[in-house]
Every structure is written in C-alpha cells, then in structure tokens.
Amino acid sequence: MDTLVSVSWLAEHLHDKNIVVADCRFVLGNPDKGREEYEADHIPGAVYFDLEKDLSAPKAEHGGRHPWPDADTFADKLGRAGIDNDTLVVLYDDQKGAMAARAYWVLRYVGHRNAALLDGGYEAWKEAGHSITKEIPERLPATYIPHVQKDWLCGVEDIRRNLGLGEDGAVLIDSRACNRYTGEAETIDPIGGHIPGAVNYDWQAIVDEKGFLKSETALRQRFAELPRDREIIVYCGSGVTACANLFVLERLGYKNAKLYAGSWSDWISYPENEKAKGAR
C-alpha cells in the first residue's frame, strides 16, 4: 500500500471496511479551532485526532511544546476509534500535511505499517467536489496492540552525545522556516536559533502552493546531499512539522532517519544547552 493516496482513490475506497479516515486539522495558538472545523464539516466517516489531546502527552518542564504521546495511551485511543493493527488509516489536514504527518509518525512509532496521507489534504477533497458531512461517526471499538519502535525517536541526551562526534555523528536537520532557524524572527518559542551543527531544510519546500507533495524527482533533488550511510535526526519547533520531512525521507528510501521528539522547544528548556544563530 502506498503511503500517499489521491482524493480520487479515497473517494473510490471510502466505504471499504478496513479503512478509517482521520481528520488531523489543528491551528497552533487556537487549540479548539481544528475540532470546531471538524465538527462543522469533514470527510464522511472521518474520526478526529487532536494534536494536543491525542497526538501529544501533557506538557511538562521538558519534552517540548508537544511532548511525545505514551504508546499505550495512544493505542487505547486508536482502539476507541475503531482502529486495530490491520486497519488502513488515511490521514488528512488543511496545513499542507504537517499535522497529518505527525499522526503518521506516531502511528509508525506504535508499529502501525498501514497508514497513508491524503495528497492535497481536505482542500483537495473539497475542490474535487467530493461529499462532506457534519455527522460524527459512531465506530465499533477495536483492540490495538502497540509494538513500539523506540529507535524511531531521539531525546536530548542523544543530541548532546551527537554534538561531539563531528563527521562521525548524525546529520541534524532543522525543519523550520529559515528565519526561525537563523534566529532572525522567532515567532513561537522564547529563544531563537538552532542546535549547533544543524542544517536547514524547511519542510514547506516539499509541497507545492496547494499542499500537494512535489514529484519524486524534485524531492530527490531536494535531499540529494543527505548521506544514506549516516544517521539523520530531524527536528523542528516541537516535533510536528519535522514529521513532514521524515515522511518524505521514508518515501525516498532512507532507513536511518529519526525524530528528535521534543525538538527545539525541548532543547532550549535546558539552559546549559548551546544554541547557535545565523546561517550555520
């Protein structure tokens, strides 16, 4: 099964028994907005995954703005949504795939292999003229057994160890906009800049202006300089948009890419951690 599906494919298979569609819309700074939009209209049969309530753990002193969710807690939520280990989960949002990609990576973390993003998201679905509804589905509960893939994540200690390894260490990718990476215009976190040694690959460059994933050729060119024989650790502000880059790296065949789950907002929660500014 491809990890990216078109709106025409989903329209054809929307009522297949083994498919659950998940709406992942969420607006940073307005945490109720996504659910309100879901309740107003959504793809028929879609359940709702909230970034902060379903795809994150409660905030603490460390762990970033969107701490990584507990696997058993998330598995319980999957079961209540009627999702078992064999269900195909199709994820969408209206933020060019960023929130849906976070859900995708959490699913990967609990061992789910049968998940896909809707190319173009909710806007593409509506522009194609497919049906929408405000009806909230009632799904029969299922049992989800997590098989946690711990190697898909990194923590602050992993990053600290890596900083002293030079060319023998992992490649650090910062997925935020360039002006946040350089520290020129931090719009969310209290401190600007990046982790020393990180290179900037703004996640928004993987999609076109309408939110469709760019061609494989364009994406291979985008990441052409990334080595396949070194570990790659991807981060962003809080471990959300980094997942969009990780989604693409997986599609391009990279087997060595991980997420720094707490990302920049976790890194700066430790005053002793070094912060860099500027283009490198």
Residue 73 DSSP class: H
Phi first, then psi: what are they for 234, rounded to 5°? -110, 135
Rounded Cα gap, residues 248 and 55, in angstroms? 20
Q: Which pLDDT score, from 0 to 100, does residue 59 have?
A: 95
Residue with tokens 């900083």: 163
List 24, 154, 236, 243, catalytic entry? 236
Q: Which pLDDT score, from 0 to 100, does residue 165 have?
A: 72
Stated pTM of the model: 0.96
Per-residue tokens: 67: 């701490």
Per-residue tokens: 113: 């292999």
Q: Which pLDDT score, from 0 to 100, does residue 127 have?
A: 97
236 is annotated as an active-site residue? yes
**Cα 261 versus chain centre, distance:** 10
Per-residue tokens: 124: 């593409």
Rounded Cα gap, residues 30 and 11, in angstroms? 30
4-127 and 150-267 share one fold? yes
Q: Which pLDDT score, from 0 to 100, does residue 168 have?
A: 77
- CATH fold, domain 150-267, is Oxidized Rhodanese; domain 1 (3.40.250)
Phi first, then psi: what are they for 85, rounded to 5°? -65, -20
Domain map of the chain by residue range? Answer: 4-127, 150-267
Would you write out the chain's pLDDT as a tens digit for each of its 280 residues?
799 999 999 999 999 999 999 999 999 889 999 999 999 999 999 999 999 999 999 999 999 999 999 999 999 999 999 999 999 999 999 999 999 999 999 999 999 999 999 999 999 999 999 999 999 999 999 999 999 999 999 999 999 999 877 777 899 999 999 999 999 988 899 999 999 999 999 999 999 999 999 999 999 999 999 999 999 999 999 999 999 999 999 999 999 999 999 999 999 999 999 999 987 6
Domain covering 4-127: architecture:
3-Layer(aba) Sandwich (3.40)
Q: Which pLDDT score, from 0 to 100, does residue 240 have?
A: 98
The Cα angle at residue 108 between residues 165 and 39, in degrees rounded to 5: 125
